[in-house]
A and B are shown apart, each in its own frame.
Chain A
Amino acid sequence: MDMSEEVLQQASPGLIPGSGTARAVKPTRLSPSLISWLQAGPMMLVFLAFFLIPLVFVVIVSFWDYNEYQLLPAFSGRGYTDTFEGCIAQLPELCTIGKTYLKTLKLCFLVWASTLFIGFWVAYFLAFHVRSKTWQMGLSLLCTIPFWTSNVIRMIAWIPLLGRNGLVNSGLVKTGLINHPIEWLLFSEFSVVLALVHLFTFFMVVPIFNSMVRIDKSLIEAAYDAGATGFQTLVNVIIPLAKPGIVIGSIFVITIVMGDFITIGVMGGQQIAAAGKIIETRVNALQFPAAAANAVILLVITFLIISMMSRIVDIKKEL
């Protein structure tokens, strides 16, 4: 029995057949590679059954034809050609899909930049200024507060706050700072970004915090001893070492925002285009192949962004 089996035995007796019951029979040997496969297996199966296979179906269906009430399983590029309708004819003006993605990317960038800025400093505070482990835990749990209510309730709650007659506007009017309520506080790009930042900063905080607590404190002391200013330590020591966390957090935020249509819909008053919203409208009209085609396009674009980011930082190496 080699080391790995020994460890495995202790951790979960019974995994290797016959181990618990009969001492006389020599346990069958499992090769280390088989063990790793067994460990990774369940997740792999879940991935295969609920991600890869459905994804293959989506790609297949995106090349089907359809009518008002059914899918027609014959090869057709209609889902794609319809989507890019007018993209060349309307030049130099942007076509629907171009405008939609431009808007989605803009929102995505704003949310990413805001969550990164806020998330970085929250994580910095938690990692370097809060000394006790208990407080670190308690405070990071506080970051989950936005998730304590349902998505819909949370978004409805913005109306009394940011609405025309909401708390913020009536407060500002009363103090005499403005004469008329500010309209763009709600049902605007501002409110969409606000709601998304409010929701997803947490996804930035956790991985960055995780990277930061693992930074060897002696490195920071060394930097200080070598005469680096606080800013120099931040730029040359902390940020480079927190990079994996930053990239992982960014991947979380970007993938969620790229596909979001519920928050953008509700906070944008359903008047702001989003890649996810196009898919929703198509699905609701029972135009599944067109929806699938849009899903494939969204997937490709999101994948491109992610792979660009992993070019900047090799996550595998850093972890």
Chain B
Amino acid sequence: MTETTRKTGVSRRTLLKGTAGLAGLAAGSGAITGFPYVKSAETKVLRYLGTAVNEGDDISKQCLKDIGIKIEYITATTDDVTKRVMTQPNSFDVLDTEYFSLKKIVPSGNILALDARKIKEFDNITPVFTKGETPGGKKIGGQGTAPWKVLYLEGKDSKKFATSATEFVTLIPTVYNADTLGIRPDLIKRPISSWSELLNPDFKGKASILNIPSIGIMDAAMVVEASGKYKYADKGNMTKEEIDLTMKVMTEAKKAGQFRAFWKDFNESVNLMASGETVIQSMWSPAVTKVRSMGIACTFQPLKEGYRSWASGFCVSKGVSGAKLEWAYEFVNWFLSGYAGAYLNRQGYYSAVLSTAKAHMEPYEWAYWMEGKPAEKDIKAPDGSLLEKAGAVRDGGSYEDRMGGVACWNAVMDENDYMVRKWNEFIAA
């Protein structure tokens, strides 16, 4: 009888659908947590939310090979990562984010601080994070949201940053760098040594800054200070008057046609520079490398006023517990154990634990990237493509010189709301 067959077919399907839906619902709501673990033989999976900086395929492959944890990347822009932590804290397990966003994320209570005692290499983390100085003892500029100001919490569930070391770490550091202006030496044809050059009328219509307000205004502040117009108490935490002053300088420059375009995305910055639309702009180290690998001269120019630095690290979502939390620790420990650090160093970033990364790099690579020495052999990117020919020296020199020259850190200001309004006014001007 056809009808009966059809009926059973439908009901079986409905049943299956219903069960699957329920299971999905349960999994999604986290109701399964604490359920006896039947599936222990299955792959361990961690959902990893972050910007593209650390998210190399090679890293996730190596991680699966070494410790059997499968990393599922969720890639978003800096702003979107923060947005996601606020609005969908259950949509990720491990979070890779920048220290400056902690001022927003920590009070929201959506992340879990990690226990320093469970991080094997914690004591070997570079003093840049813990003390605010380089391994060689150079003091690092602390304006803005410097990592050592927000590294520790007062207690496990505290929303307050501790002033001295505790075991509750907001973000286990992973990667950081010192940013400056990228220039096209072939088109500028003269030495550049100060941030003030960004607004030099010589480069009218050929300059650019980052279109992320909180970072763009820091670059602007470097320019204002370099040109001797004003000295900030803290560039990363301006008063309303200071914001007005900074935006006024920028608005005048914009009206005079100083800027060609603002960029937001890695590739945009590469395109602007490579096509010659801009000859001087705020930039990221790997973007400069990318332009250079296209055969176009581009320098990540060290400037006398110093670098604007940024740093990111790992924490986990508040919803993570039990076995998954253990995997997260396992993963973070693996990340600091050398392979990933070497991978990041080879891209021109810096790794948090220097000793383990060094063990995973060739001596000539270490000498080029970290010690500022001329390359003994050709320098290759992690994917094997040629970055620099033998004899080249890294822009800005050694780790000590570059990190020691940091003047300020990416920041979220107390007057952030006002600043964002002023930024919109600046765009409309």
Contacts and interface: CB of A to CB of B under 8 A. Distances in A.
Contact of B421 (A85, A159, A270): A85
Interface in A85-139: 85, 96, 99-100, 103
Interface residue SS majority, chain B: helix
A82 B277 CA distance: 36
Given A271-B254, A285-B420, A287-B417, A96 B425 contact: yes
B421 A286 contact: no
A298 to B, nearest CB: 14
Contacts of A160: 275
Contacts of A50: none
Contacts of A82: 417, 421
Contact of B424 (A70, A100, A164): A100
Contact of B427 (A69, A277, A283): A277
Contacts of B104: 68-69, 286
A67 B427 CA distance: 23
A277 B263 CA distance: 14
B161 interface: no
B263 A270 contact: yes
Contacts of A221: none
B260 interface: yes
A318 interface: no
Interface residue SS majority, chain A: loop
B374 interface: no
Contacts, number: 95
Contacts of B421: 82, 85, 96
A165 interface: yes
Contacts of B425: 96
Given A270-B211, A273-B427, A286 B83 contact: yes
Interface residues of A, number: 36
A209 interface: no
A282 B420 CA distance: 7
A124 to B, nearest CB: 37
A64 interface: no
B429 A99 contact: yes
Given A283-B83, A285-B417, A273 B424 contact: yes
A222 B83 CA distance: 63
A295 interface: no
A187 B261 contact: yes
B233 interface: no
B205 A183 contact: yes
A163 B277 CA distance: 7
Interface string B257-284: 0011111100110010001110000000
A307 interface: no
A240 interface: no
Given A70-B86, A100-B428, A163-B277, A284 B259 contact: no
A104 to B, nearest CB: 10
A73 B54 CA distance: 37
Interface in A154-211: 156, 159-160, 163-166, 183, 186-187
A286 B82 contact: yes
Interface string B398-429: 00000000000000100011001101110111
B163 interface: no
Interface string B61-105: 000000000000000000110110010000000000000000111
Contact of A70 (B3, B108, B214, B271): B108
A273 B251 CA distance: 13
Nearest to A280: B79
A281 interface: yes
A100 B423 CA distance: 12
A156 to B, nearest CB: 6
Interface of B: 3, 79-80, 82-83, 86, 103-105, 107-108, 205, 211-214, 254, 259-264, 267-268, 271, 275-277, 412, 416-417, 420-421, 423-425, 427-429
The 7 closest A-B pairs by CB, nearest first: A269-B261, A273-B428, A270-B262, A284-B79, A99-B428, A96-B425, A69-B108
6 contacts: A269-B261, A271-B259, A273-B427, A285-B417, A286-B82, A287-B420
